[in-house]
Amino acid sequence: MFPSTSPETGRDPWPDDARSGPAGPARGLPPGPRTGPTDDGEPRRERGPRRARKGGAPRRPDDEPAEPEAEVVEPVDVRKPLSLTVAGFAALLGVGLVLGAQTAGPGHRLPFAFIVFGVQLLFVLAWTMAMRPPALLLVAVVSAAVAGAADVAAVQSDIAALAPLGYVAAGGFLLGVLGQLVRRVDRIRVTDSLGTTLLIVVGVVAFATLITLSRIPAGTQAITVCLAATGVALTVARLTDAVLPWPRLAPQVPRGAAGVVAGAMIGTLTSAVLGSYLVGFTPTSAALIGLVTAATAVLADLAVGYAEAGRLMAGEPPTLWIARHMQGPLGGFALAAPAAYAMCVLFL
């Protein structure tokens, strides 16, 4: 038996002003917000909205404005006749350059140089009309002169190298910039025209690398493989866009990813088939250089489409439609030419 003691023994007595009811909140309910002053007399800071509970949504005040919904952009329609026309132009351009390369031989580079010069003039026309630099006529004349000088340097140089072409490109770019600085009207927008002038000058000089490539061993075969892969890739990409422009890469660009991938793959397959018949090539080596040039060409063509969509979204009025649509295939071949030279020098 334990000694009988009172349950209140040893405990502090209740204060006189204690409330008779419970001091805390009712069991099972969360405590309410404390908005009164603290014990020191200072007002208590208001807390922000509570964080989201685990598995629940965050609490928002009733007066908080709702976030605006994203604007839905309707995709641009793909015009099938236009895609078919651009595909035909790319095929004709590839056939002309490949057949022109077969006319080149030791001491007989002029026929191929004339064909390349004609393609360079098309490049100057399309890109100046599409990009519209401030001094359009001046940039076009300087670019055409640079194209002729680059072709002469590629034919007449003692050693088949890219250094003379680099000097011609640098001189042409400086001449174009200085010509715009002299004119007071174009001096204000000279900064805007630097990129345009550089692109056009480098593009026309890039075509001249085909003449230099035809002067080195296995250069003509490399031109055949690379330009055939480029022409097939651009043609297949445009044909696929006319039939199945899906999935769309951007709503404002009338191109599909299926065409880009299919063009690069079929272009690579074409180069591998040609490599099994040409001397100095194997299907593997031909497929390697064909893959690089085909992928470079289709990506350059796609980049031109994005640039055109950007100009239209910026509010610039559209230019001559034939120049805009020639710009993509010409840019693809211009970028594929130095890529073919680099792959031939490095891997053959």
What pLDDT is stored for residue 117 in this prediction? 97
- At 70, the pLDDT band (50, 70, 90 cuts) reads low
Quick check: is 281 in a domain?
yes
Q: Which residues contact 122 (CB under 8 A, 6 or more apart)?
A: 326, 330
Domain match, 276 and 206 both: no
Q: Which of 155, 181, 215 is the last residue of a domain?
A: 215
Domain match, 152 and 124 both: yes
Quick check: is 35 in a domain?
no
Domain match, 284 and 181 both: no
User: Residue 66: exposed, middle, or buried by beta-carbon count in 10 A (0-12, 13-18, 19+)?
Assistant: exposed
Quick check: is 43 in a domain?
no
- At 45, the pLDDT band (50, 70, 90 cuts) reads low
Q: Strand 248-250 and strand 253-256: pairing?
A: antiparallel
Domain match, 240 and 289 both: yes
Rounded to whole angstroms, the Cα distance separating 246 from 227 reads 26
Residue 311's SS3 state is helix
Residue 98 tokens read as 């490949």
Domain match, 124 and 184 both: yes
Q: What tens digit of pLDDT does each residue of 244-256 get?
A: 998 998 999 999 9
How many domains would you assign to the chain? 2
pLDDT: which is higher, 162 or 49: 162
Domain match, 298 and 234 both: yes
Q: Which of 215, 238, 261 is the last residue of a domain?
A: 215
- At 147, the pLDDT band (50, 70, 90 cuts) reads very high
Q: Which of 215, 230, 248 is the last residue of a domain?
A: 215
Residue numbers of the domain that contains 200: 104-215
Domain match, 203 and 228 both: no
Domain match, 240 and 209 both: no
The yes-or-no verdict on residue 196 having pLDDT over 50 is yes
One-letter amino acid identity for 222?
A
What pLDDT is stored for residue 265 in this prediction? 97
The yes-or-no verdict on residue 30 having pLDDT over 60 is no
Q: What tens digit of pLDDT does each residue of 199-247 get?
A: 999 999 999 999 999 999 889 999 999 999 999 999 999 999 999 998 9
- At 180, the pLDDT band (50, 70, 90 cuts) reads confident
Residue 296 tokens read as 């470079």
Domain match, 263 and 211 both: no
Domain match, 246 and 339 both: yes
Domain match, 232 and 203 both: no
The model's pTM: 0.78
The yes-or-no verdict on residue 42 having pLDDT over 60 is no
Quick check: is 62 in a domain?
no
Quick check: is 246 in a domain?
yes
Strands (E), 147-282: 248-250, 253-256
The yes-or-no verdict on residue 141 having pLDDT over 90 is yes
Quick check: is 74 in a domain?
no
Quick check: is 34 in a domain?
no
Quick check: is 280 in a domain?
yes
- What is the rounded average pLDDT of the residues 108-127? 94
Domain match, 246 and 177 both: no
The yes-or-no verdict on residue 31 having pLDDT over 70 is no
